[in-house]
Chain A
Amino acid sequence: MGVGAKMTSSRFAGRMALRTAAGLSLAYILLPIVFVIWLAFFAQEIPSFPPEGYSLKWFRAIPDDDRFVAGFLLSLQVAVLATSIGLALGMPAAVCLARGRFAGREALNSLLLMPLIVPGIVLGIALYVFHVEIEIATELPILGSFAGLITAHVLIAIPWTVRLITASLVGMDRVVEEAAQSLGANRLTTFRRVTLPAILPGIVAAALFGFIASFGNLEMSLFLVGPGRTTLPIAILQYLEWKIDPTIAAVSVLQILFIGGVMLLTDRFVKIGRVV
């Protein structure tokens, strides 16, 4: 009895320690977000504690501010287009990487993950120089163009699409593909009817992460946007250069809600938790 009680109490202590550690880590992650959300409702213009009162005026002001509205719309356009193109390019690449047996497969795999590893600033500068050189060589208006921005964002969507779809393909039971073929389905039909449904969660996750990576990208976009063409993160940065009122916090809250909403919505249809 005595031994049992001692065991139980030491297990209890262990569990409490684990929970405390987990709670602290969670708080560390969530605290900045909590503060941003809190700040967005402060009444005063200069954020200071304690708040002098609460107000929704910062939220109300956002729709009237062209920079944020235009920034949001541009970011949305860029993210949707870049993700779509990234998927269209990333999916065949993933199939090759997961199923193909060819020399240089590992190298290609690493190459396609590069944009994730290279710091955004470096990528931005490199692309900027690249665009300048191309513009000089071809005399096409590439620098600061919408197309230039899209191609750059495709670059940061690709590592996500390739990585996640490859993981799904590797993880799926290939025997079901053979079953489909033995039942009379050729390669294309097999892919459409059996492989695609099996890796759908991976594709959705790939689209989601590609979208988020593009939507929130600041460092690379800074070098590539043109006059009158700013993405939301850049609009936020530019606003911060002049003012530090809670408008930014309010914009951030909306951005968090937007991304969170997209994640919840996709999770309703596809359980991404199984993939990532």
Chain B
Amino acid sequence: MARLQFIGVGKRYGDFTAVDDLSLDVADGEFVVLLGPSGCGKTTTLRIVAGFVEPTSGSVRLGGRDITALPPWKRNAGLVFQSYALFPHMTVAENIAFGLEMRKVPKADLAPRIAEALRLVRLDHFGDRLPRQLSGGQQQRVALARALVFHPDVLLLDEPLSNLDAKLRQDVRVEIRELQRKLGLTTVMVTHDQEEALTMADRLVVMSEGRIRQIGTQQDLYEQPAEKFVADFVGRSSFIDGRMDGPGRFVSAGGLVVACEGGASGQASLALRPERLALVSSAGPAMDNSFPGMVEFISYLGAQVDLHVRLSPLERVIVQIQNRPEQPLPAIGSQVHVGWGKSTGRVFPS
């Protein structure tokens, strides 16, 4: 395992910039997730590490060695593809053996190492099967074993869970993460699924339009999003457009005067996390902000309930409340008061 460094990496296709001046340092044994919508450059970045895309600027270092100009087969990177990409004409054992054969591992050592890799992904007795005889989840684990068996310097995961059904996905997430910890693998995963990213990563890299928007832990991104895009993409936010009208005073387009933190001035957006908003009664303790509104839509999610509340003709927010028997749910069309503290809203200049 080794440290992976991106130093000012860029990739242009004619006028289109797929990756723009990307610098990132992945520590030895760290699990970093590149998160972003499709077309944000995350897959291109991963393919640059794998060697399938040659960057037009910058360099990539793996374990201190510059690998920018190396072909894929000389990089010692374990790659797991979205479609698994198992060799259909080879058995599971032959698939796993492939990377070892390419490294001229003596024949006598193959069997124990294949067995070890299969045990690692809990497919001990599947060595003689063909890929098409396995379920999607099993194929995925074979792909993982194949990428791990030759002790790669870095493990690259390209949306590895997107072809699995929802239940299995949660199990495999935990499985991959535990394996990664146990083996101390430097890992880069690409995904557009924020829940997947949040549950698996040591550190997340949010990308859009070829650029890194923010790097940080789950908590950093959630509590201190650096820009509106991050606040929108990681977790959920209701946005209210308006402007800063003096320090700590935000006036929405619909005329709401909101107490908030921050002293910027000019056009801005206020981001509100649904679970940080509350329904307040006029009799309760006063909050920094409290506005009357009408419930227009209700999403019943079981443990939680989302209320879509209109605060003014131009503004609607989502309020997520816990579903408790002692608190009766408001009906659609009923009047409520929505309250939040002044540190809840985050202001982004727009």
Q: Interface of A with B (CB < 8 Å)?
A: 173, 175-176, 178-186, 189, 193-194, 197-198
Q: Is B40 an interface residue (CB 8 A)?
A: no
Q: Which residues of B contact A193 (CB under 8 A)?
A: 87, 98
Q: Which of B72, B76, B77 has the most CB of A within 10 A?
A: B72
* Interchain CB contact (< 8 A) of A186 among B73, B146, B147, B150: B73
* Interchain CB contact (< 8 A) of A176 among B50, B52, B87, B102: B87
Q: Which residues of A contact B73 (CB under 8 A)?
A: 181-186
Interface string of B124-138 (1 = CB under 8 A from A): 000000000000000
* A80–B146 alpha-carbon span in the complex (Å): 41
Q: B81 near A183 (CB under 8 angstroms)?
A: no
5 A-B pairs with C-beta separation under 8 A: A176-B85, A176-B87, A180-B87, A182-B147, A184-B73
Q: B85 near A184 (CB under 8 angstroms)?
A: no
Q: B102 near A179 (CB under 8 angstroms)?
A: no
Which 7 residue pairs spanning A and B have beta carbons closest together?
Answer: A184-B102, A183-B99, A179-B85, A182-B79, A175-B85, A181-B72, A197-B89
Q: Which residues of B contact A182 (CB under 8 A)?
A: 50-51, 72-73, 75, 77-79, 147
Q: B79 near A179 (CB under 8 angstroms)?
A: yes
Q: Which residues of A contact B147 (CB under 8 A)?
A: 182-183
Q: Which residues of B contact A194 (CB under 8 A)?
A: 87
Q: A178 near B87 (CB under 8 angstroms)?
A: no
* A181–B102 alpha-carbon span in the complex (Å): 10
* Interchain CB contact (< 8 A) of B83 among A173, A181, A184, A185: A173
Q: A198 near B79 (CB under 8 angstroms)?
A: no
Q: How far is the CB of B288 from chain A (nearest CB, A)?
A: 53
Q: How far is the CB of A18 from chain B (nearest CB, A)?
A: 32
Q: Which residues of B contact A180 (CB under 8 A)?
A: 87, 98
Q: Is B88 an interface residue (CB 8 A)?
A: yes
Q: A185 near B102 (CB under 8 angstroms)?
A: yes
Q: How far is the CB of B101 from chain A (nearest CB, A)?
A: 8
Q: How far is the CB of B114 from chain A (nearest CB, A)?
A: 14
Q: How far is the CB of A51 from chain B (nearest CB, A)?
A: 52
* A180–B87 alpha-carbon span in the complex (Å): 8
* A175–B84 alpha-carbon span in the complex (Å): 9
Please judge, given known A-B contacts A181-B73, A183-B146, A184-B150, whether A189 and B102 are in contact too, CB under 8 Å: yes
